[in-house]
């Protein structure tokens, strides 16, 4: 099932059944086109909870409800996503620091970056909070301008 969520930064497409299967910007590079074609806009309990979460987020409220996410990835990738979920609202962490948090080793930062490049849960799994060691904004599926917008948005409410 899918539903559209309109935000100041653009439309988000939410896919969900028993858990959240994906949240993408409508113009995002890895948007699964096959999932978009055949379904009408629909809402279920999981999608409504996700929209409440997004409402809170865009209103500057740190969302308290935990969404049920359907991670379909390897155990190591899931570990990267779970550690990314721990990055506080309005703060950033480098790929190397996240690698250190996940693997106790900075030499896995490329794995971390590649994993986050496949993030199917935009904003909710806050890969926009992960930046280069030099503080540069890089590698955001929806574009660096959206990454910058989200970080500035969060900093306003810290």
Place of tokens 């113009």: 27
Q: Which of 36, 50, 73, 127 is catalytic?
A: 127
- Two structure tokens written together for 38: 């055949």
Torsion 142-143-149-155 (CA) sign = positive
Tell me, yes or no, if 50 is annotated catalytic: no
d(CA 132, CA 152): 17
d(CA 61, CA 124): 13
Active site residues: 127
């Amino acid at each position: 099932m899918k539903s559209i969520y309109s935000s100041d930064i653009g439309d988000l497409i939410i896919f969900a059944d028993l858990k959240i299967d994906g949240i993408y910007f409508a113009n995002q590079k890895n948007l699964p086109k096959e999932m978009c074609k055949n379904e009408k806009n629909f809402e279920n309990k999981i999608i409504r909870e996700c929209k409440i979460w997004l409402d809170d987020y865009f209103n500057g409220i740190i969302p308290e409800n935990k969404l049920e996410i359907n991670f379909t990835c390897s155990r190591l990738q899931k570990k990267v996503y779970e550690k990314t979920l721990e990055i506080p609202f309005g703060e950033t962490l480098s790929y190397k620091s996240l690698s250190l948090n996940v693997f106790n080793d900075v030499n896995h930062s490329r794995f971390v970056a590649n994993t986050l490049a496949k993030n199917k849960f935009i904003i909710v799994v806050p890969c926009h909070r992960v930046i280069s060691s030099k503080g540069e904004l890089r590698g955001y599926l929806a574009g660096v301008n959206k990454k910058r917008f989200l970080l500035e948005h969060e900093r306003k409410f810290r």
